[in-house]
Structure 1
Amino acid sequence: MTLPFFPPDLFDDEQDTLLDIVESIGLAPEQKFILGAHTTRFEEVVRDSVGAADAIACGSGTAALTLVLRAMGVGPGDEVVVPAFGCAPLAAAPAMLGAVPVFADVDPWTTVADPAEVDRLISPRTKVVMPAHMFSVMADMPAIRAIADAAGVRLLEDAAVAQGGVLGGTPAGLWGDAGVYSFVQVKTFGMPGEGGMVVTADPELGAMVRMLRNHGQDGRTRFVHHHIGYNSRFDEIMAAFQLHRFATLPHRLERRARIGEYYTERFGELAGCGVLAPPPAVDGRCYYVYSLLVERRDALRDHLAGQGIGSHVYYPAALPRQPAFAPYARGGAWPAAEAAARRTLAIPIYPHLTDAQVEHIADAVCRFAKES
């Protein structure tokens, strides 16, 4: 594959730096490999970059969701409203706490949670509303924030794919009572390992998450457990590596945005040919993945492969249609989510694509749409 969807060389230019960090931390007198000075500094840098009151590094984006839900008091008998289309942790995190994920259908074009559906599903048992940003589009957070406030429920923003995105002047992650980021390899601020971050404007909520990630300890007195917690601590090597890379994150985000905007401009005329690009916009965009809605998805995937271009199908089944979450489906219908699951196809958007490669990808998509 000339242009793979998942590039194998994301960190090639930084291998020497990573090895130097491993050696430095491995030979340091303090022998501190988790939750040390590098993690503290990394949390401070992320916190200050978005203007949060607290930022808590933890083991993964999935763990971040679970920790915040626990900190919000979610448990058996509660309901958490989540999108019907997206990554499994959206439903798994509340379910693992004994709560019920309640699936809201999505907007048929943007594939993020439809605020009207979220509002319709609020019940006396709703404890948290948990929208997720999807692919390159942030959810309608002003509308969902208003719905949560009117209902008197907490708002947890799954911004795992959206670090660096901004909507209406507010950074992704800060629209809710808390937000989460993910640093898994292919994310916009991915790293060669697992990791996540909780950001919040609520210091008390942040303090609870901080304790829960480390077996319920408060960080001052070891072996005093104030709550039953988890082991979701952050790796010092990865913290140091992310600190090294943070200064260049804006450049990588800008490059992704330029590629995404070029795609959207090129594909704007293809809607009548069965290939629908995301809505054109600048505000509320987060180019983690660039995904098209395609009537003949498998045919386009084969066509691109024939041109040496990798593509990827995210979430080939709506969440309530997954076997694990069938008990929560309750015989409902989610037509937009199910249509998205049939039609989404993501194309390469990583920042070290050259202009010529981006043009080649766009040309291949356009040829398929116009000639098929």
Structure 2
Amino acid sequence: MIPFFPDDLFDADRSVLLDLLHQLGTSPAQRFILGEHTARFEAALGEQLGGAEVITCGSGTSALTLLLHAMGVGPGDEVVVPAFGCAPLASTVVNLGARPVFADIDPVAMTMDPDRAEALISPRTKVVLPAHMFSVMADMPRFTELAARHGVRLLEDSAVAQGGVLDGRPAGLWGEAGVYSFVQVKTFGTVGEGGAVVTGDPELGRAVRMLRNHGQDGRTRFQHHRIGYNSRFDELLALFQLHRLPGLPGRLARRAEIAEYYNARFEPLAAQGIQPPPGGTNGRCHYVYCLRARHREQLRAHLTEQGVGTHVYYPSPLPRQPAFATDGSWPQAERACREILALPIYPHLTDAQVEHIAEAVCAFAGTPAGAGTR
């Protein structure tokens, strides 16, 4: 079986992790959160991003919450978010007392459609929040232009896109700020939860840094300048991520290589109802490789029989979820939920495994179920 979520992502680093744990646990400082290693990790990421401010925190979801709070989002405000995506896009808005307004997606990229988003901007709109999805970054040049024209703030959910670059600018640095997630299966995943805010705005960075630590400024303990959160970063994870950071470009390159191979095999299958994500390298991140399949459930069953694990992102649009249920029409998001199927793309897949996965998809396309028409 080739699992979709592998259980051996960090096997090669197991001994290093144990050594780092011993180093941290026996150090005289006995500091386990927001210490010197966190500071070094933030500086290393910031250097990779051309000097951007980096503030690590408890998760990618926390990063969104901290930024929305720092931007002043609250009751009476609206935030335009994609109708297709993960729950934190909407839940972080709701938890601050604001209202998520759901925009439909582009039918090919599956990211928020700028035209649909612009049509939803109202006098109550505080923030436009596009999200990069799977292998494709959102159309940030368009979102940057429309945010400036309408005088609204632009927050970039780049949680899945660390390492992606669009028109020479890294994911996370197109809007006023962006976020990264270090949860296990992300491109720079770790052995626990974690996230980061990235921004070129020092004032916004200072506000987020204060909010993550109960409103303290880091200079005077127990002096709280504002109501904040407990979203502090773990020193062990900082050490571990510093260890793994030099290998990130190689792992990203392997993901891109697998995606390129998949696309070459699947692009001829359009007549059989199988559509790969857009190819190329500009604005690509290769966190997850998602096909669109007309007969998704049959393809998924076939791949299971062939020993290939798959995953569905996402089975229902956000505005159809019980937590966010609202009236409206989002036909492209609905269609994506019916058709999307993710294949394994983690960097330590062997060439033989990648070929087996591609062969299994192509074999399905040649069967009566896979070759059916509407």
| TM bracket (short chain) | over 0.9
Amino acid paired to 1:169:
G
Counterpart for residue 357 of structure 1: 353
1:4–1:348 contact (8 Å) kept in structure 2: yes
Amino acid paired to 2:164:
G
Deviations 1:292-320 (A, max 9, x none): 01111111111001111100011100000
Deviation at 1:52, TM superposition (A): 4.2
CA distance in 1, matches of 2:182, 2:28: 28
Matched positions, count? 368
Counterpart for residue 67 of structure 2: 68
Helix, strand or coil for the counterpart of 1:291?
strand
Deviation at 1:109, TM superposition (A): 1.4
CA distance in 1, matches of 2:340, 2:357: 16
Amino acid paired to 2:350:
T
CA distance in 2, matches of 1:154, 1:370: 48
Following superposition, which runs of at least 4 residues in structure 1 exceed 6 angstroms of deviation? none
Amino acid paired to 2:147:
A
Alignment of 1:257-296 (within 5 A): 257-296=256-295
1:178–1:199 contact (8 Å) kept in structure 2: yes
Amino acid paired to 2:152:
V
Q: Is structure 2 residue 313 aligned with structure 1 residue 314? A: yes
CA distance in 1, matches of 2:261, 2:154: 33
Counterpart for residue 127 of structure 2: 128
CA distance in 1, matches of 2:355, 2:190: 27
Q: Is structure 2 residue 39 aligned with structure 1 residue 40? A: yes
Deviation at 1:7, TM superposition (A): 0.5
Deviation at 1:281, TM superposition (A): 1.8
Q: Is structure 2 residue 334 aligned with structure 1 residue 338? A: yes
Counterpart for residue 210 of structure 2: 211
Q: Is structure 2 residue 304 aligned with structure 1 residue 305? A: yes
Deviations 1:309-344 (A, max 9, x none): 100011100000000001xx2x21000001111111
CA distance in 1, matches of 2:366, 2:64: 42
> Please, which runs of 5 or more residues in structure 2 have no aligned partner?
none
Helix, strand or coil for the counterpart of 1:360?
helix
CA distance in 1, matches of 2:163, 2:271: 32
1:52–1:200 contact (8 Å) kept in structure 2: no
CA distance in 1, matches of 2:151, 2:20: 46
Helix, strand or coil for the counterpart of 1:368?
helix
1:181–1:198 contact (8 Å) kept in structure 2: yes
Q: Is structure 2 residue 189 aligned with structure 1 residue 190? A: yes
1:52–1:199 contact (8 Å) kept in structure 2: no
Amino acid paired to 2:59:
S
Counterpart for residue 89 of structure 2: 90
CA distance in 2, matches of 1:274, 1:297: 9
CA distance in 1, matches of 2:332, 2:76: 28
1:59–1:194 contact (8 Å) kept in structure 2: yes
Deviation at 1:53, TM superposition (A): 3.0
Deviation at 1:146, TM superposition (A): 0.5
Helix, strand or coil for the counterpart of 2:324?
helix
Counterpart for residue 165 of structure 1: 164
Amino acid paired to 2:61:
T
Aligned CA-pair RMSD: 0.6
Deviation at 1:48, TM superposition (A): 1.1
Amino acid paired to 1:68:
L
Counterpart for residue 22 of structure 1: 21
